[in-house]
Structure 1
Amino acid sequence: MDLEKESNPQNQNSTNFSGRNCKWWIKMVMSMVFVLAGQASATLLGRLYYAKGGQRQWIAAFVQTVGFPILLPFYLLSSSSSPNSTTSGNTTNQTKSPSFLALTMVYAILGFLIALSSFLSSYGLSYLSASTFAIIFASQLGFTALFSFFLNSQKFTPFIINSLILLTISSVLLAFQPSSSSLAGVSKAKHAIGFICTVLAAAGTALSLALSQFFFRKIIKKENFSAVLDMIFFESFFASCMILIGLFASGEWKGLRGEMEGYELGKVSYVMTLTWTAISWQLFQIGAVGLIFEVSSLFCNVMSALGLPLIQVFAVIIFHDKMDGLKVVAMILAIWGFVSYIYQHYIDEHKSKTSNSTENNANANGVVVTKPPV
């Protein structure tokens, strides 16, 4: 995408930059809406499944990944219309496609991590309230920062460090007062299991996001919508197959009919709850990969953390979750951490625009701009 900017004539720089910047923000807003709406609705529907009689962790994990077929029309359309090369001006940029074996390994690794994280998160959600689960799961931002530091050379500024500390503290505060955030009838031991599973799920999700960015840069090496759809479609396919194996191996499938008949809201509501959970998670997946593609895996996690207030408010309204002082403090810290990271992103964008403007003006005046050695 940067090649397109560099190859444009000087008298078209401003116009093209403004147009592409507008399109970039449109894609960003759509991805952020998908992440926030998809995550909030999927988490609440997952809690509804358990609250009304659902007991199958493998089923709850399966619906987190099985929604990928709804992307098939877009995937086929993108595959048929996507060019093999990107032409900008008189310059043609041809990227060698990775081998079938390499792509299969990439999608299988990501699919395994997604399957593992989905099962752990479904297990954790069965023992935690929706609001508690959401706050604990925000710890994935800290894990993503750690993984991105080693895999993607993520730079840590004071604002990013402040954001990570605040979000991490907000997620672990509840561990010191489990009694106020436990579900009725859930023992302390099961609450602890739910807490541990949720933290491990957050770590697995963070690793999959960081690896997605790493694989995009090192192996896939394509910056187009088709590559993003490939990533979502095939990693979800592998994850669904792995979870399906676990579903049959565990024997959970044998009790599905009885669970459907005993569901408090009825059979139709049982099917609709699982269906819309699958669709919601797929919307989240689309938005997440879009944010990774456009910005970074760390920014995707920050947007996920921003969904905390949505889940908190709706959990109180729908499930009558307790909103004590500890949860309020944790939520405020999470929002503060998000604002801190967004401000750093604003500073980076402002510096980038200033630098590009200075360089373009210098080039237009015939001045050669050289950067000092680092």
Structure 2
Amino acid sequence: MNKVLLIINCIILTIGTCGAPLIMRLYFIKGGKRIWLSCWLQTVAWPINFIPLAISYLYRRKNNNSSKLILMTPRIFMATIGIGILQGLSNYFYSYGVAKLPVSTNGLVISTQLAFIAFFAFIIVKLKLTSYSINSVFLLTIGAVVLALHSGGDRLEGETNKEYILGLIMTLASAALTGLIFPLVELIYKKAQQAITYTFVLEFQTLYCFVATVFSTIGMVINNDFQVILSIL
């Protein structure tokens, strides 16, 4: 069952990772302008986690005589809120980059997150770096830099140099934040002082996605995105 769940998660992750940038880019190519809306859609599906969480709660209550609704401690709860804010900010940077860059350019620049993950993991959780990991991160990073320097011909018509460069910077900022978030999550797991169960991970993901969605919702309210959507409907 563990292998089946792993395969299912890998398939869903692959579809999302490959399909989401294409759909987002298509939205902007067709005239979409709402970056905060694109950011909001990245985490708005967080309530779906309530289904497995409810099943897990009923199972615990039936078999372990445990009626505890939430497994997270207050300390982990507050740390997760911080992760959610960082995720919301990363999502905005990423959405801005997709709005200004072709998918190929954006995809390769965002791949530099591997370098940031390795760097922050080395500093935060003392991850040992091997020659293979350093070599792969170096090649991916160099590839992204070369593409960024020689991709002037793949800009959209009418896009200014300022917008294009800002898109590169925003995408790189998103990669850096993502590279910071993963080691921070690993650190939280290490400091949790409790069993890292499937239910605990689901609670963690649900909370930080909820916080990221609230972050994006505030941006949409400030940018009047909801009024524009309602007027279209």
Deviations 1:68-108 (A, max 9, x none): 1122111111233248xx9xxxxxxxxxx6632x1221221
Shift of the 220–69 alpha-carbon distance from structure 1 to 2, 3 Å rule, reads farther
Percent of residue pairs identical: 28
Consecutive unaligned residues of structure 1, counting only runs of 5 or more, are 1-22, 87-96, 262-374
Aligned pair partner of 1:256 in 225, 229, 233: 229
Equivalences for residues 116-195 of structure 1 within 5 A? 116-195=89-168
Alignment partner, residue 78 of structure 2:
105
CA distance in 2 between counterparts of 1:160 and 1:109 reads 29
**What CA distance in whole angstroms lies between the structure 2 residues aligned with 1:181 and 1:255?**
30
Given that 2:76 and 2:188 are in contact with CA atoms closer than 8 Å, whether structure 1 keeps it comes out as: no
Q: What are the Cα deviations for residues 268-318 of structure 1, in whole angstroms up to 9, with x where unaligned?
A: xxxxxxxxxxxxxxxxxxxxxxxxxxxxxxxxxxxxxxxxxxxxxxxxxxx
2:38 to 49, 60, 67: 60
Describe the superposition over 1:222-252 as per-residue Cα deviations: whole angstroms up to 9, x where unpaired: 2211011111111001111111111112223
Corresponding residue number in structure 2 for 1:36: 14
- The match for 1:73 is 51
Number of residue-to-residue matches in the alignment: 226
Which of 1 and 2 has greater Rg? 1
TM-score by length of 2: 0.89
For residues 199-214 of structure 1, the aligned pairs below 5 Å read 199-214=172-187
Instruction: List runs of 5+ in structure 2 lacking aligned partners.
Output: 65-70
Deviation sequence 1:106-140 (CA, Å, 0-9, x none): 22111001100011111111101111111110000
Secondary structure, counterpart of 2:162 in structure 1: helix
> Is the 1:178–1:188 Cα contact (8 Å) retained in structure 2?
no
- 2:192 corresponds to which residue? 219
- 2:68 is matched with which residue? none
Letter in 2 for 1:38: G
**TM-score with structure 1 length normalisation?**
0.57
Give how far 1:185 is off. 2.1
Q: RMSD of the alignment, in Å?
A: 2.1
| Structural mapping, 1:265-284, within 5 Å | none
Aligned equivalent of 2:218: 245
Assess, with a 3 A threshold, how the Cα gap between structure 1 residues 74 and 24 changes in structure 2: closer, same or farther.
closer
The answer (yes or no) to whether the contact 1:111–1:239 under 8 Å persists in 2 is yes
Contact in 1 for aligned 2:105/2:148 (Cα 8 Å): no
Determine helix, strand or coil for the equivalent of 2:192: helix
Cα-to-partner distance string for 1:22-53 (whole Å, 9 max, x where unaligned): x5544433332222111111111111111112
What is the letter of the counterpart of residue 226 of structure 1?
T
Q: Which amino acid counterpart does residue 17 of structure 2 have in structure 1?
A: Q
Decide whether the 8 Å contact of 2:72 with 2:203 is kept in 1: no
Q: Which residue of 2 aligns with 1:46?
A: 24
